[in-house]
Amino acid sequence: MRFVFLTGIWPPDVGGPATHGPDFATFLRDRGHSVHVVTMGDSEPTERPVPVESIARGRPFVVRYPLVALTGFRLARRADVVYATATYAAAAVAAAGRPLVAKLVSDPAYERAWRYGVFRGSLEAFQETRDRRSVALKRLRTGSLRRARRIVVPSAYLADIARGWGLDAARIEVLVNPAPPPADVEPAPLDPGTFVFVGRLTHQKALPVLLEAIGAVDGAKLELVGDGADRRALEELVATRGLADRVRFVGSLPRDQVLAHLAGARAAVLSSAWENLPHAAVEALSVGTPVVSTAVGGVPEVVHDGENGLLVPPNDPAALAAALRAVLHDDALRSRLAAAAKPSVAAIGRDVIYDRLEQILVEAAR
């Protein structure tokens, strides 16, 4: 079959959708399908397992976004299904006359409201707000998603929220982000006591909270793998707090090196203020590394407190520091959590999840 992917980010960008896109495109290609990608980027795509058309992110939004829609529309005329992991409004236009399947990785209305300074509360509170601008963003989001024949959501948490938007519940299916294929990953040679964060350096990840927690734990070090809009501000914060010898900004890495860093870590750490279900948590568990995370969104659906990781409240640096300190100094605890990590994600391997996602795409074309 012929598929067109629309996605907001693609390598060298970092983040869950940038991991999912090339991986799933490769899976479908290897199954004999044709895949063509439309994305946005600050530079040329670094992974091209299938044809990729990238619209320059430096163009004004009023130019860039219509170009994504028009490029998708042109390619979709020869496709069986359009699959979107972001840019849902553009995907709804591109898929005119073609089946649309959406992977819902966040509440796009909430993320836009936050980015534009329209709303500053929690994701849950945003669902209840009646602010005029927020309501307009919600209507755009829901109207676009109603075009989708199927909506795939990685967490039960976000699926429950999406059902409250007036979408057809029968079209929504929870399908978690897959664990990487089993492989012997050579751990990166990190300093003892090193924790690893993987993801975009953005406000959502609440990294100042993590830096405060690291600073409060004797012997703890941190590697930040990824990039994003907040990097410069975070580098300044590290310098201001005297953490330059304990915190290292690694930047974006290929996925195999990301897995190596996670495998070499004392634990993976996530300090997010809100989440859906981060790929980084699943990837860490898949290489046998426990996860210390805030208990937000769908994270508790894969990270089970006291079993394969530790969970703490969001925006609580003292609680996060206590969890990091426990994993760092209690070898028996760390060993027990690590032993449970791989088995906890064994049932959500890449082939199992992608087999089902392929089936959903094929069913949508009928």
Say if pTM beats, i.e. exceeds, 0.85: yes
Domain 194-346, what fold? Rossmann fold (3.40.50)
Indicate the residue type of 210.
L
* Distance from C-alpha of 210 to C-alpha of 208, rounded to nearest angstrom: 5
Instruction: Determine what percent of the chain falls in helix, strand and coil, rounding each to the nearest 5.
Output: 45, 15, 40
Q: Is 87 left (phi over 0), alpha (psi -120 to 50) or beta?
A: left
User: Does the pLDDT of residue 119 top 90, yes or no?
Assistant: yes
DSSP per-residue codes, 1-39: -EEEEE-S--TTS-SHHHHHHHHHHHHHHHTT-EEEEEE
At residue 79's C-alpha, the angle toward residues 75 and 82, to 5°, is 85
293-315 core/surface letters (b: 16 or more CB in 10 A; e: else):
bbebbbbbebbeeeebbbbbebe
Q: Give me the pLDDT at residue 366, please.
A: 86
User: Does the pLDDT of residue 182 top 80, yes or no?
Assistant: no
Domain 2-178+349-364 in CATH 3.40.50.2000: yes
> What is the rounded average pLDDT of the residues 263-271?
98
Percent of the chain with pLDDT over 70: 100
Q: What is the mean pLDDT of the chain?
A: 95
Q: Give me the pLDDT at residue 101, please.
A: 98
Strands (E), 26-166: 34-41, 52-56, 81-84, 100-103, 150-153
Pairing of strands 267-270, 247-251: unpaired
Half-sphere exposure of 304 (CA within 13 A, CB side): 11
* Distance from C-alpha of 95 to C-alpha of 114, rounded to nearest angstrom: 28
> What is the rounded average pLDDT of the residues 280-305?
97
Number of C-beta neighbours around residue 113 at 10 A: 22
Number of C-beta neighbours around residue 127 at 10 A: 15
Parse the chain into domains and list their residue ranges: 2-178+349-364, 194-346
pLDDT digits (tens, 9 = 90+) for 49-69: 999 999 999 999 999 999 999
> What is the rounded average pLDDT of the residues 14-35?
94
Domains 2-178+349-364 and 194-346 belong to one CATH topology: yes
Pairing of strands 247-251, 221-225: parallel
